[in-house]
């Protein structure tokens, strides 16, 4: 059903990779294989192509789409986290402390989370009615690695859209700083009631979602902690059983091993919760942040449109003046005026496109999120029910044995 499938590297490859790339730039150079299922993407002809992409390739794609398709809520990317030298040292040290397996588990989990996030991203782009037509996407899906490198190197000069720039734009939107460059003192902002309401909704939504996500993440941790406690408890009880001996000892041992078995179930549920509930929530937060970026773009477009309109008006007045005084500068001024007018109309058109697109996108966003969260809730409830049921089963199974020991 999905158009694109993103496969991660097998764990062993990962280590081989780590070793090879260890000393070069970027310790953690994780690559993904991208497989296109051609039946769902009629645009892509030719033999099935499997390309290798890095995280920064995805960032490039996202930035390009953001530039080209203003007004559309570009799907969010999973976080960029630097796994660098500190993490490597951490792994080495934990190896010595016998905890290396846990570390490996954590990093494989991280890889899986990232893979899933990137997979969702690229599929959302490919299934968006506008975005899937993008040339950048086509390039992304089909170019080999050297071409990708080249294209990205070109772009560094032209498009400097770094995350810090986006942050700055957010700040502009929120603090209403007037544009000093154009010399305007009055802040130029859209103030229709519907748009205000929408902005307010988005900003507040982010806060609420962030809080929910925080608790969801903590819940994952609690599952792991409970699993650990159960395991430790089970071991202690087993040792006590060995000391006691007789039927009591046996009962204790049974309890101990049941505890340890349940501990594993808890760890499994923790992982399930992370991937199927916490991640979607985080994704929701990121989506809202992407909308905020679009809001910023809209504000910029509005400002440009307004300023150009102002400038055009001034030029018009000036032109009339020149006409009346039959000045020689009239022709020059008229040419300038026409050009400015064209630009102003262009800016107005751009702005209106953004407004129209945003309205459509809002509808799509709301519907998408209802579906996404519905699924996340379902998975959450399912996982919890499954866990609770298996816990109940396990303990109930133990009861008759304890009864038997009690009566013997």
CB of 109 to other proteins, least distance (A): 6
| Interacting positions 13-72 with other proteins (CB under 8 A) | none
Does position 229 interact with other proteins (CB under 8 A)? The reply is yes
CB of 203 to other proteins, least distance (A): 11
Complex with other proteins: residue 92 or 363, whichever CB lies closer: 363
What is the chain's alpha carbon radius of gyration, rounded to the nearest angstrom? Answer: 29
Joined together, the tokens standing for residue 26 give 């970027």
Complex with other proteins: residue 145 or 225, whichever CB lies closer: 225
User: Under a CB-based contact definition with an 8 Å cutoff, are residues 270 and 220 in contact?
Assistant: yes
Please pick, from the candidates 123, 134, 267, 344, the single residue that binds other proteins as defined by CB under 8 A. Answer: 267
Please pick, from the candidates 91, 268, 348, 355, the single residue that binds other proteins as defined by CB under 8 A. Answer: 268
Does position 275 interact with other proteins (CB under 8 A)? The reply is yes
| Interacting positions 77-106 with other proteins (CB under 8 A) | 97-102, 104-105
Cβ neighbours for 298, distance < 8 A, ≥ 6 positions apart? 70, 71, 190, 351, 354, 355, 358
Does position 389 interact with other proteins (CB under 8 A)? The reply is yes
Complex with other proteins: residue 211 or 346, whichever CB lies closer: 211
Going by their DSSP bridges, the two strands 50-54 and 31-36 should be labelled as antiparallel
Give me the sheet containing 4-7, strands edge to edge: 4-7, 31-36, 50-54
Per-residue x/- track, 354-383, other proteins (CB under 8 A): --------xx--xx-xxx-xxx-xxxxxx-
31: left (phi over 0), alpha (psi -120 to 50) or beta: beta
CB of 210 to other proteins, least distance (A): 9
Which strand (E) or helix (H) includes residue 303?
helix 279-325
Please pick, from the candidates 9, 41, 143, 402, the single residue that binds other proteins as defined by CB under 8 A. Answer: 402
Q: Tell me the window of 79-87, 232-240, 295-303, 313-321 that interacts with other proteins (CB under 8 A).
A: 232-240
Please pick, from the candidates 89, 236, 314, 342, the single residue that binds other proteins as defined by CB under 8 A. Answer: 236
How many chain residues bind other proteins (CB under 8 A)? Answer: 88
Q: Tell me the window of 77-85, 169-177, 180-188, 208-216 that interacts with other proteins (CB under 8 A).
A: 208-216
Please pick, from the candidates 25, 129, 186, 396, the single residue that binds other proteins as defined by CB under 8 A. Answer: 396
Complex with other proteins: residue 134 or 259, whichever CB lies closer: 259
Alpha-carbon distance 316 to 328, whole Å? 16
Alpha-carbon distance 147 to 144, whole Å? 6
The beta strands (E) that lie in 186-320 are given as none
Complex with other proteins: residue 233 or 330, whichever CB lies closer: 233
CB of 205 to other proteins, least distance (A): 7
Quickly count: other Cβ atoms within 10 Å of residue 88's Cβ. Answer: 14
> 349-356: which pairs have CB atoms within 8 A and are 24 or more residues apart?
350/70, 350/301, 350/304, 350/305, 351/298, 351/301, 351/302, 351/304, 351/305, 353/70, 353/71, 354/70, 354/71, 354/294, 354/297, 354/298, 354/301, 355/71, 355/298, 356/71
């Amino acid at each position: 059903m999905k158009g694109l499938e993103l496969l991660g590297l097998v764990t062993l490859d990962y280590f081989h990779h780590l070793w090879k790339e260890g000393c070069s730039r970027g310790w953690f150079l994780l690559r993904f294989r991208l497989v296109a299922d051609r039946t769902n993407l009629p645009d892509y002809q030719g033999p099935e192509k499997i390309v290798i992409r890095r995280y920064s390739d995805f960032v490039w794609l996202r930035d390009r789409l953001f530039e080209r398709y203003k007004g559309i809520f570009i799907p969010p990317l999973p976080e960029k986290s630097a796994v660098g030298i500190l993490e490597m040292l951490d792994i080495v040290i934990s190896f010595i402390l016998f905890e290396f397996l846990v570390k490996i588990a954590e990093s494989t989990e991280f890889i899986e989370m990232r893979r899933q996030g990137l997979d969702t991203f690229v599929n959302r782009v490919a299934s968006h009615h506008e975005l899937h037509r993008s040339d950048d996407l086509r390039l992304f899906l089909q170019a080999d690695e050297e071409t990708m490198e080249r294209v990205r190197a070109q772009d560094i000069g032209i498009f400097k859209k770094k995350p810090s720039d986006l942050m700055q734009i957010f700040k502009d939107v929120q603090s209403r700083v007037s544009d000093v460059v154009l010399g305007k003192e009055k802040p130029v902002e859209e103030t229709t009631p519907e748009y205000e309401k929408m902005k307010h909704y988005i900003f507040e939504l982010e806060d609420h979602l962030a809080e929910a996500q925080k608790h969801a993440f903590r819940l994952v941790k609690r599952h792991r902690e409970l699993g650990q406690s159960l395991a430790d408890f089970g071991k202690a009880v087993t040792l006590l059983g060995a000391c006691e001996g007789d039927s009591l000892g046996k009962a204790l041992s049974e309890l101990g091993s049941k505890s340890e078995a349940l501990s594993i179930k808890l760890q499994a549920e923790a992982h399930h919760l992370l991937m199927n509930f916490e991640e979607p929530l985080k994704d929701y937060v990121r989506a809202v942040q992407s909308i905020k970026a679009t809001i910023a773009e809209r504000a910029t477009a509005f400002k440009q449109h307004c300023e150009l309109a102002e400038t055009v008006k001034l030029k018009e007045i000036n032109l009339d003046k020149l006409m009346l005084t039959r000045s020689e500068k009239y022709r020059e001024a008229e040419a300038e005026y026409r050009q400015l007018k064209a630009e102003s109309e262009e800016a107005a058109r751009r702005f209106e496109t953004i407004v129209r697109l945003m309205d459509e996108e809002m509808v799509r966003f709301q519907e998408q999120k209802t579906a996404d969260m519905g699924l996340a809730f379902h998975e959450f409830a399912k996982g919890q029910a499954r866990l609770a049921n298996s816990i109940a089963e396990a303990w109930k199974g133990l009861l008759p044995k304890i009864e038997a020991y009690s009566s013997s």
